[in-house]
Structure 1
Amino acid sequence: MSAENGEVPPPGAAHRFAVVGMGATGVGVFVALVRSLVAAGQAAGTELHIFETKERLGAGVAYSTPHDCHLLNMRAATMSVHADDPDHFVRWLAGRAEPGPADAGEYVPRRLFAEYLQEFFDEALTEARRHGTKVVTHKSVVSDCREDAHGVHLIAALDHFVFDRVFLCLGDLPSTEYLEFTKLPTYVHSMWQGAGLEAVDPDAIIGVLGTSLTAVDALLQLRAAGHRGAVTCFSRRRSLPKVQGPRVLHTLRHVTERRLRELTGDFTRQLEFAEVAELFRCELEDGLGIAIDWKRVLARPEETFTRTLAKDVELAEKGQTLWYSILDATSEIVPLVWRTMSAKARASFMTEHLSIWSMFRHCMPLDNARRLLDMATDGAFGVASELTAVSYVEGSGTFRVDAAGRTHHVEWLVNATGTGFALDCSDSSLIQNMLMRGDIAPHPLGGIDVDFDTLRVVRRDRSLSGRAHYIGPLTRGVHFYTNSFETNLANAHSAVAAALGPS
């Protein structure tokens, strides 16, 4: 049975599914599909089509880096692809010929997780074919996706396909900030695409836009490559991420589903920001056993960033970072917390509090922090906050960056601001075509609007697609914590369950 080149499947034909994008989330969707179809006795005769231009499946942007200086930001013990078997990744590492981490608490290069995901996919592929499922791989870009009574139509290169269900998993899309510089040869819009940082002159004066974990990756790669020029990281508000210490298991007492049900009257009303903040305050202070001076914690540090980083490293080495374990324990419940918040509360958080949350929640591994501290002590890089303007100076071939009350001039500019959430600025033809027709709608807080439970895309007229699901970082406005592998894996299972369940 084929629906390619415009042919519509005949009545009663076996199911045809498509997964567009085979990074970590796409692999999660594929595996969930295979297992669900096998469990339901529906695998025989079904077709699964996957669309991915990269040779390596499962790597995506997040895990495609070949550099060993780019570590997972989460411990190996937290990165299992099996929710019911949390030690699976650790055992996989231990069974490799190449040495893995000494214990389950260590961080490993991201390339290893990409290999792990590849094996995860290969196992599912073998299982699918053993049960009579046809799996077809297409190394082509999907440029359009539209739905009608016959199914979901995909256009990939010159080919036309029709499917019963489509799962869009485009992963981390390039930043949608500073697009005015993309034609300049000394601007790196994404360190993960094209020549990236490898094109940068080793003696160049570099400005890095951002101080998040992506900026940390940029600094470490420049160091590993032997870069000698001055580097400055610029941010609007935040400084470098905090540092992860030893992992301590924490049982939530306040940020729980039961407490959320009590506060919302079994989810019949929404919470305001102050109510949510109080939940987290109680969780942290109860877990730490002390009252927190929030004004001091949230204030801008008066010391230099080097001294602040040194203190953060010292606290992590002494195991005095229990607050991180408490925040880490909220990962699974955070999407539900986000769902209970009012639109005003969510908007307030995104504009006023996201940067400080990210600094404390998305912390860097201790090994990375030590390397950065050595670099900072050597004067290899600096940090400047209060970024107000960035421009290109014609004639001089340099960039002007206004931050921290002064003007900086850099020869190369690196964008480390992360995923782009402004759909109208995205360079994806698939997103642009769907957006133009109203087949997808931008979420007010950025990214794509979807149904929370089923991940079906929301159209411009606010109706739900019957056959197209979107899973991944761009659903941040709906699920918030979508830079987490575990959240996207859980959403992959939700989308598959909705697709295979009763209509």
Structure 2
Amino acid sequence: MSVEHGVVRTTGADHRYAVAGMGATGVGVFVALVRSLVAGGRAAGAEIHIFETKERLGAGVAYSTPHDCHLLNMRAATMSVHADDPDHFVRWLAGREDVSASDAGEYVPRRLFAEYLQEFFGDALAEARQRGIKVVTHKSVVSDCREDERGVHLIAGLDHFVFGRVFLCLGDLPSTEYLEFTKLPTYVHSMWQGAGLEAIGPDATVGILGTSLTAVDALLQLRTAGHRGAITCFSRRRSLPKVQGPRVRHTLRHVTEANLRLLTGDFTRQLEFTEVAELFRRELEDGLGIAIDWTRVLARPKEMFTHTLAKDVELAEKGQTLWYSILDATSEIVPLVWRSMSPEARASFMTEHLSIWSMFRHCMPLDNARRLLDMATDNAFTVASDLTSVSYDEDARAFRIEAGGAAHHVEWLVNATGTGFALDCSDSSLIQNLLMRGDITPHPLGGIDVDFDTLRVVRRDGSLSARAHYIGPLTRGVHFYTNSFETNLANAHSAVAAALTRLDSPAAA
């Protein structure tokens, strides 16, 4: 390998791989790539270049928080990096002195999962080097990715690289909503970047945009820091997430691949929303053993949020949340369900039902719910729904939020709306360059369009990239359940398998 005029040149580009972004998904890709190269007899002479600006590989946005009040929203027993060894993370936790035996299978601080991922990466790195794979780390941002007959050209900093295969794993990108406020010093666009919530004074009034799990994280961090000012969470439709109770194993009877094949004629036709809703209705009612009053369940709560939260905590403490275990059991099949739905059904779900699904499916740990209930009882925060507008009053130096038919004024505003899916508004230079040339296509439901099975990116003309794969939250329009670690890990394996299979294909030569 040599460098000419800033271009890193090499022979045999097909033996060189790049992983851009080394959060949890990037680590999953790296490990899958190392193991596949070793298993396929391709290890000797192969090169893997990883691109990440953070010192800690594997943490990413999701797990980089140092605050112990930020727990995993899933039990440790569901977070193994080895699909064939579901208790791997639990055993890893059990070997630590700072984790009690009773906590090892429950909800632990996210920083521990980041350490687990780093160790997972470290083991794969050691194996790669032992097997003759050259691994090069670049602490730089990939700003462009362009494909031609020579391979995939990456621009990172001042360097220009050529690779045979590239895996783009950018992780959770900042929200693409409320960008008009980003230059205001009292606006926190992302609580995970920059000064975040630490810049907020203890007596300041705070508005939090959103009531999802990210909003829960913000509330708990402010509480832990001793914040005393009034806090209001604002939402357009939904209330706080429901609460997870004891985990009960549920065997799916209706939301199954067999039933999907039957309904779709072996996937020769697509399902309408009513058909999918019926599958889930039957699954829930059969599992619970009762008929459900769906009008009541789906209606907006009439009680104060404190009453609803207290009831949800009580149900979780009594173990009366079997519905959550049923929904949790659908995790692996949901991407296939999503793929089986018609474009109209998917669009209808995203606009009309996503918020209620998220409230019931993405529930908070019981410990977090108890802390929020204590805060609500102390009048430390409140929730306002029916959010209609947000503006900034220059004279008052305060944000004005219209919600629930009333005007609210706060000194600080925190964006807790989650990942940004509007590509044209993204601040990623890589995404903007790819979008400008038509090398990626926005999915109609947000994010990046990719091939479902291979994760190869879809170009503007409808063709698939031969060498570039995108894995992570931005493929939500294709896979839907991409805020799940297990889904992104499965997609990482699929992308690597597809890339190496194409190398073996004569047509790919």
Counterpart residue number, 2:10:
9
Which whole-Å CA distance do the structure 2 matches of 1:238 and 1:101 have between them? 36
Offset, 1:425:
0.2
Q: Write the distance in 1 (CA, Å) between the matches of 2:8 and 2:90.
A: 46
Give the residue type in structure 1 aligned to 2:242: K
Distance in 2, matches of 1:327 and 1:305, equals 23
Determine what percentage of the aligned residue pairs are the same residue: 86
Match of 1:81 in 2: 81
Cα distance in 1, alignment partners of residues 468 and 155 from structure 2: 14
Q: Is the 8 A contact 2:13 2:164 kept in 1?
A: no
Equivalent pair of 1:3/1:161 in contact (CA under 8 Å): no
Matching residue of 2:113: 113
> Could you tell me how far 1:101 is from its partner in structure 2?
5.1
**Aligned pair in 2 of structure 1 residues 374, 436: CA closer, same or farther (>3 Å)?**
same
Q: Residues 283-362 of structure 1: matches in 2 within 5 Å? A: 283-362=283-362
Q: Retained in 2: the 8 A contact 1:125–1:135?
A: yes
Question: 1 CA distance for matches of 2:67 and 2:182?
Answer: 24
DSSP-derived class of the 1:191 partner: coil
Q: Distance in 1 between matches of 2:469 and 2:483?
A: 18
The yes-or-no answer on 1:214 pairing with 2:214 is: yes
- In the TM superposition, residue 337 of structure 1 has moved relative to its aligned partner by 0.1
CA contact 1:239–1:359 (8 Å) conserved in 2: yes
2: distance between equivalents of 1:263 and 1:13? 45
2:479 aligns with 479
CA distance in 2, matches of 1:73, 1:478: 23
In 2, Cα distance between the equivalents of 1:280 and 1:232? 34
State how far apart, in whole Å, the 1-side matches of 2:337 and 2:462 are. Answer: 23
Match of 2:370 in 1: 370
Does the residue aligned with 2:60 lie in a helix, a strand or coil? coil
CA contact (8 A) 1:144 1:154 kept: yes
Contact 1:101 1:108 in 2 (8 A): no
CA distance in 1: counterparts of 2:317 and 2:412, whole angstroms: 35
CA distance in 2, matches of 1:490, 1:440: 22
How far is 1:3 from its partner?
6.8
User: What is the Cα deviation at residue 52 of structure 1?
Assistant: 0.2
- Mapped to 2, the partners of 1:411 and 1:295 lie a distance apart of 38
TM-score, with structure 2 as normaliser: 0.98
Q: Equivalents in 2 of 1:13, 1:223: separation in Å?
A: 52
Paired residues for 1:311-460 under 5 Å = 311-460=311-460
CA distance in 2, matches of 1:89, 1:494: 22
| Aligned residue pair count | 502
- Cα deviations across residues 302-331 of structure 1 (Å, max 9, x unaligned)? 110000000000000000000000000000
The equivalent residue for 1:125 is 125
> 1-side partners of 2:292 and 2:311: how far apart?
18
Shift of 1:13: 6.1
AA aligned to 2:301 is P
SS of the residue corresponding to residue 281 of structure 1 reads helix
Partner residue of 1:56?
56
Shift of 1:102: 1.3
Task: Give the drift of 1:100.
Answer: 4.3
CA distance in 1, matches of 2:417, 2:265: 39
Q: Distance in 1 between matches of 2:13 and 2:132?
A: 15
Q: CA deviation at 1:97?
A: 2.9
Contact 2:14 2:163 in 1 (8 A): no
Residues 13 and 151, structure 2, Cα contact 8 Å, conserved in 1 = no
Q: Which moved more, 1:330-339 or 1:96-105?
A: 96-105
- Is residue 182–residue 189 contact of structure 2 (8 Å, CA) maintained in 1? yes
From the superposition, tell whether residues 251 and 149 of structure 1 become closer, same or farther in structure 2 (CA, over 3 Å): same
The one-letter amino acid paired with 2:95 is G
Equivalent residues of 1:375, 1:381 under 8 A apart: yes
Alpha-carbon distance in structure 1 between the residues aligned to 2:436 and 2:191: 29
Shift of 1:2: 4.6
RMSD of aligned residue pairs (Cα, Å): 1.0
1:462, 1:59 → 2: CA distance? 34
Amino acid at match of 2:456: R
1:131-154, CA deviations, whole angstroms, 9 ceiling, x for partnerless residues? Answer: 000000000011000000000000
2:8–2:159 CA contact under 8 A, matched in 1: no
Structure-to-structure mapping, 1:39-188, within 5 angstroms: 39-100=39-100, 102-188=102-188
**Which AA in structure 2 matches 1:342?**
S
Q: Are the aligned partners of 1:152 and 1:165 in contact in 2 as well (CA < 8 Å)? A: yes
Equivalent residue number for residue 203 of structure 2: 203
Which structure 1 residue ranges, 5 or more long, are not aligned? none
Q: For the structure 1 residues 270 and 325, does the alpha-carbon distance in structure 2 shift closer, same or farther, using more than 3 Å as the test?
A: same
The 1:271/1:14 distance shift into structure 2, 3 A limit, reads closer
What is the SS of the residue equivalent to 1:62? helix
Contact 2:13 2:163 in 1 (8 A): no
Aligned to 2:257: 257
CA distance in 2, matches of 1:97, 1:459: 50
Instruction: Kindly indicate whether the alpha-carbon contact (under 8 Å) linking 1:173 and 1:420 is maintained by their aligned counterparts in 2.
Output: yes
Q: Which amino acid aligns with 1:220?
A: L
Amino acid at match of 2:10: P
Answer yes or no: is the 8 Å Cα contact 1:61–1:172 preserved in 2: yes
Q: What per-residue deviation string (whole Å, max 9, x for no partner) do you get for residues 30-66 of structure 1? A: 0000000001111010000000000000100000000
Q: 1:101 to 1:419 in 2, by over 3 A?
A: farther
The alpha-carbon distance between structure 1 residues 292 and 104, as it changes in their structure 2 partners (threshold 3 A), is farther
Alpha carbons of structure 1 residues 407 and 91: separation in structure 2 relative to 1, 3 Å: same
For 1:118 and 1:7, locate their aligned partners in 2 and report how far apart those are by CA, in whole Å.
28
Shift of 1:105: 3.8
Question: Which residue of 2 is the match for residue 233 of structure 1?
Answer: 233
2:509 equivalent to 1:491: no
- What is the CA-CA distance between 1:99 and the residue it aligns to? 2.1
- Tell me the TM-score normalized by structure 1: 0.99
Amino acid corresponding to residue 21 of structure 1 in structure 2: G
1:409 and 1:14, CA in 2 relative to 1: closer, same or farther beyond 3 A? closer
Quote the Cα distance in structure 2 between the aligned partners of 1:359 and 1:265: 32
Distance (whole Å) between structure 1 residues aligned to residue 435 and residue 61 of structure 2:
23
Q: Deviations over 1:361-415 (max 9, x none)?
A: 0000000000000000000000000000000001110000000010000000000
- The 1:96/1:461 distance shift into structure 2, 3 A limit, reads same
Supply the AA of the counterpart residue of 1:261: R
